[in-house]
């Protein structure tokens, strides 16, 4: 009886009122600008007929940057996944209590540092005469003349990985801590090494969480401007730099929005994989 | 693979500085089924975890086929285990779960398939081979866990309360299945349980643990009929307790009339089943008597048969658990549970009669 009364009349209105603020926020802050961007990408700043010239121009001018962007975020996402699993795996399966405590304390630090500060840190760390090369030369690992700057694509990848690994590791470590511990013990008693337990028994059980973390990181890295701008602003660079350039130097919102929609498409591809996997899990 | 012997010598185990097991000595014969029985916190799970390698002992030795494995990690001990929570890998199918141990041992794909098929057929799981384990019932999951443990042909099978999550009917079925398979394969099995009946029907020998010490080791018959201490008697179900005054004569115990207890002469047992009292007291005088509710019977007319401990009381409660009536009898402020086939009513005056063979006498409550 009460179920019926919930779905009609004032009850229903109340429910709509409750979700209305959130819906309006999404509408005004996301759907409206997004819709405007889409229209702008396919027209001349929202005027005139529909055409693809902004996309043609974007591909013509920035095809290298598109591939560079995809390569950077893909490599960084893969490395983040490997490192996050390694950190969370050690926190879950490691036996050295001191090492675990130190790692637990250290690995989260980059989470609290903004991207722009991370980029600045990396500039001083990865430059030709930066801290990393100073350390390597002073410890005799490399010759002074062999020192090289990492402030190129490698610098962007290193910064992204350093900044985003703790976030994914945090999610993954939480998921690993919540799996039934005896499934790990069972692996050990049947003779599995730690690495096999991690790869064959633990990671498959937390795969959904890992995927969510990696997709969120992927999306974040696609949208970061400060890191590529500060570490590698020369060509090729990432799409966010190109977008900023089109707007600030030319006031060209059409091409900037076309590049933005391409970023959406890249995100859409990974989101599709995620949704497909979620549906598969639900059916299983 | 045929089971191997295990020797546990002066094993001390603890968490941080708190000792949980105190100098445990225990010998388990090849192909023997041993049940570790005790109340929560007695150390039975800790002992099993020490055997499996999940806990490193403070001192002592665990010898498997003569080799000390106490300091080895679990993966190097070649033991198989069935867990209370099944511990199946939820992302794998039944077939993958059962075959994973073999894969770890580097067995070829063809051999794995043949062995897994054999195990699934043995456990009646052939129709579920390709199913993911979350889609199975509790009984089916525990069968998969058992199949996984048996598939690896390990000589030692560790069972950590494997039946406690199952419903009563399946539990009874699985008891016999596990016992049958263990005997058929000749494995050495160590089974942790807090269920007395489960230990009795499954094990060749029972190890009763109390606060980290071995209280008694023996066959189910020995620990039930001849409990060495008041603790073991209580744990084995001799819940009824009565203080009696006794003197000793040649080969018998003389009960001295005191309160509701009538005088009687009871023979002392020399071996199981001879009908005598299980005399464990160190001296005559005031001793503590224990008996099972099923060992005693009631008489209404006060005609006590010879060779029985007898004392009068009143029926205060009755129930019917099946087969016999269960009575609560009140006697001098104490309450006793007695099973009897005859029907009495609440308020009836009765005499509790305990035959000498059903009575255990101890000096103290330890």
Indicate whether A2 pLDDT > 50: no
Percentage, residues of chain A above pLDDT 90: 71
Alpha carbon distance A205, A222 (integer Å): 28
**CB spacing of B101 vs A204 below 8 angstroms:** no
Name chain B contacts of A284, Cβ cutoff 8 Å: 132
Whether A191 and B101 lie within 8 Å, measured CB to CB: yes
Cα four-point dihedral sign B10, B15, B16, B17: negative
Euclidean distance between CA atoms A98 and B276, whole angstroms: 61
Question: How many angstroms separate the CA atoms of A99 and A105, rounded?
Answer: 10
pLDDT for res B209: 96
Q: For B321-342, write each residue's pLDDT tens digit.
A: 999 999 999 998 999 999 999 9
Neighbours of B77 (CB within 10 A): 22
- Kindly indicate the confidence band of residue A6, based on its pLDDT and cuts at 50, 70 and 90: very low
Q: CB-based contact (8 Å) between A248 and chain B?
A: no
Q: Is A137 exposed, middle or buried (0-12, 13-18, 19+ CB in 10 A)?
A: middle
pLDDT digits (tens, 9 = 90+) for B82-103: 999 999 999 999 999 999 999 9
* R_g (Cα) of chain B, nearest Å: 24
Q: Does the beta carbon of A180 lie under 8 angstroms from any beta carbon of chain B?
A: yes
What does DSSP assign to residue B257? P
Contact B104 A192 (CB under 8 A): yes
**Average pLDDT rounded to a whole number, residues A154-163:** 96
Is A10 an 8 Å CB contact of chain B?
no
What's residue A44's pLDDT? 76
Q: Region A245-257: what's the mean pLDDT?
A: 92
**Residue A189 forms contact with B (CB below 8 Å):** yes
Distance between CA atoms of B232 and B280, rounded to whole angstroms? 12
- Cα dihedral B296/B298/B301/B305 (nearest 10): -20
Would you state the pLDDT for residue A46? 62
Confirm or reject contact between A96 and chain B (CB < 8 A).
Answer: no
Q: Which residues in chain A are closer than 8 Å to B81, comparing Cβ atoms?
A: 185-186, 189
Residue B281 is given by DSSP the state -
Which among A186, A200, A284 has the least Cβ separation from residue B81? Answer: A186
Instruction: Say which residue the tokens 């084995």 belong to.
Output: B236
pLDDT for B104 equals 94
**Chain A hits for B80, Cβ within 8 Å:** 189-190
Backbone angles phi, psi at B18, to 5 degrees: -80, 120
Give chain A's largest Cα–Cα span: 82
**Weakest-pLDDT range from B114-123, B233-242, B299-308:** B299-308
Residue whose structure tokens are 């690992």:
A141
pLDDT for the residue B249: 82
Contacts of A183 in chain B (CB under 8 A): 87-90
pLDDT tens for residues B171-228?
898 899 999 999 999 999 999 999 999 999 999 999 999 999 999 999 999 999 999 9
Classify strands B278-279 and B285-291 as parallel, antiparallel or unpaired: unpaired
The verdict on a CB contact (< 8 Å) between A190 and B104 is yes
Are A231 and A151 within 8 A, CB to CB?
A: yes
Q: Could you give the ipTM of this predicted complex?
A: 0.83
pLDDT at A283: 72
Is B197 in contact with B229 (CB distance < 8 Å)?
A: no
Beta partners for residue B33, in sequence order: B189
Neighbours of A7 (CB within 10 A): 9
Task: Give contacts of A187 with chain B, Cβ < 8 Å.
Answer: 89
pLDDT averaged over chain B? 93
List all residues 6 or more positions away from A222 whose beta carbon is below 8 Å from its beta carbon. A69, A73, A239, A240, A263, A266, A267
| A149 exposure class (CB count in 10 Å sphere: 0-12, 13-18, 19+) | middle
pLDDT, mean over chain A:
90
Tell me what the mean pLDDT of segment A111-131 comes to: 93
> In the predicted model, is pLDDT for residue A187 greater than 80?
yes
**CB B120 within 8 Å of CB B129:** yes
pLDDT digits (tens, 9 = 90+) for B272-290: 989 999 999 988 899 999 9
Tell me how far CA of residue B159 lies from CA of A130, B85, B106, B236, B362, in angstroms: 59, 11, 25, 21, 33
Angle at B352 between CA B347 and CA B353, to 5 degrees: 155
Confidence of residue A49 (pLDDT cuts 50, 70, 90): confident
- From CA B132, how far away is CA B93, in angstroms rounded? 4
Residue B156: partners with Cβ closer than 8 Å, 6 or more residues away? B3, B4, B6, B51, B64, B77, B78, B79, B80, B187, B188, B189, B190
Is B100's Cβ below 8 Å from some Cβ in A? yes
Q: Does B91 touch chain A (CB under 8 A)?
A: yes
Sequence length of chain A is 284
For B208-220, how does the pLDDT look when each residue is reduced to its tens digit (9 = 90+)? 999 999 999 999 9
Query: Distance, in angstroms, between A170 CA and closest chain B CA?
Result: 22
Interface probe with B: pick from A97, A183, A189, A208, most Cβ of B within 10 Å: A189
């Amino acid at each position: 009886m009460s179920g019926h009364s919930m779905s009609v009349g004032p009850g229903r209105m109340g429910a709509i009122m409750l979700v209305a603020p959130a819906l309006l926020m999404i509408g005004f802050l996301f759907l409206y600008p997004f819709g405007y961007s889409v229209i702008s990408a396919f027209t001349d700043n929202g005027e005139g007929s529909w055409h693809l010239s902004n996309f043609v121009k974007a591909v013509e001018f920035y095809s290298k940057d598109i591939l560079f962007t995809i390569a950077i975020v893909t490599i960084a996402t893969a490395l983040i996944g490997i490192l996050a699993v390694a950190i969370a795996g050690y926190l879950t399966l490691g036996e050295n209590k001191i090492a675990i405590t130190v790692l637990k304390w250290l690995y989260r630090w980059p989470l609290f540092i903004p991207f722009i500060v991370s980029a600045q840190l990396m500039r001083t760390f990865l430059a030709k005469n930066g801290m990393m090369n100073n350390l390597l030369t002073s410890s005799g690992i490399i010759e002074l003349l062999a020192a090289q700057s990492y402030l190129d694509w490698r610098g962007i990848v290193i910064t992204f990985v350093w900044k985003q690994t703790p976030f994914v590791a945090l999610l993954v470590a939480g998921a690993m801590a919540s799996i039934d511990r005896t499934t790990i013990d069972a692996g050990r008693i049947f003779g599995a090494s730690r690495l096999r337990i991690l790869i064959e028994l633990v990671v498959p059980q937390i795969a959904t969480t890992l995927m969510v973390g990696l997709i969120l990181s992927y999306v974040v890295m696609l949208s970061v401007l400060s890191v590529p701008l500060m570490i590698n602003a020369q060509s090729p660079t990432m799409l966010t730099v190109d977008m900023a350039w089109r707007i600030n130097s030319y006031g060209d919102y059409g091409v900037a929005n076309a590049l933005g929609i391409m970023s959406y498409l890249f995100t859409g591809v990974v989101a599709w994989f995620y949704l497909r996997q979620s549906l598969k899990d639900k059916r299983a | 693979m045929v089971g191997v012997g295990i020797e546990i010598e002066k094993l001390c185990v603890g968490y941080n500085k708190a000792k949980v097991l105190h100098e445990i000595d225990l010998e388990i014969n090849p192909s023997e089924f041993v049940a570790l029985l005790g109340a929560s916190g007695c150390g039975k799970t800790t002992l099993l975890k020490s055997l499996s390698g999940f806990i490193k002992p403070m001192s002592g030795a665990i010898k498997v086929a003569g080799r000390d494995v106490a300091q080895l990690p679990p993966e190097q001990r070649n033991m198989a285990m069935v867990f209370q929570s099944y511990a199946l890998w939820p992302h794998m199918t039944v077939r993958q779960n059962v075959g994973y141990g073999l894969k770890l041992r580097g067995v070829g794909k063809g051999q794995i398939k043949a062995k897994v098929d054999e195990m699934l057929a043995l456990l009646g799981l052939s129709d579920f081979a390709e199913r993911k384990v979350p889609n199975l019932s509790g009984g089916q999951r525990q069968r998969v866990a058992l199949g996984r443990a048996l598939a690896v042909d390990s000589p030692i099978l560790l069972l950590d309360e494997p039946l406690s999550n199952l419903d009563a009917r399946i539990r009874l079925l699985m008891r016999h299945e596990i016992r049958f398979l263990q005997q058929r394969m000749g494995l050495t099995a160590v089974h942790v349980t807090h269920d007395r009946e489960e230990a009795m029907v499954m094990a060749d020998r029972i190890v009763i643990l109390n606060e980290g010490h071995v209280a008694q080791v023996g066959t189910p018959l020995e620990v039930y009929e001849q409990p060495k201490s008041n603790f073991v008697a209580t744990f084995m179900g001799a819940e009824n307790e009565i203080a009696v005054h006794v003197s000793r004569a040649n080969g018998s115990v003389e009960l001295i009339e005191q309160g509701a207890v009538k005088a009687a002469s009871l023979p002392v047992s020399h071996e199981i089943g001879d009908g005598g009292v299980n005399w464990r007291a160190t001296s005559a005088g005031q001793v503590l008597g224990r008996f099972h509710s099923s060992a005693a019977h009631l008489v209404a007319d006060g005609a006590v048969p010879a060779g029985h401990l007898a004392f009068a009381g009143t029926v205060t409660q009755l129930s019917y658990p099946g087969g016999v009536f269960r009575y609560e009898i009140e006697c001098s402020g104490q309450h006793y549970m007695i099973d009897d086939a005859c029907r009495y009513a609440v308020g009836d005056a009765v005499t509790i009669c305990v035959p000498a063979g059903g009575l255990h006498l101890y000096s103290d409550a330890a």
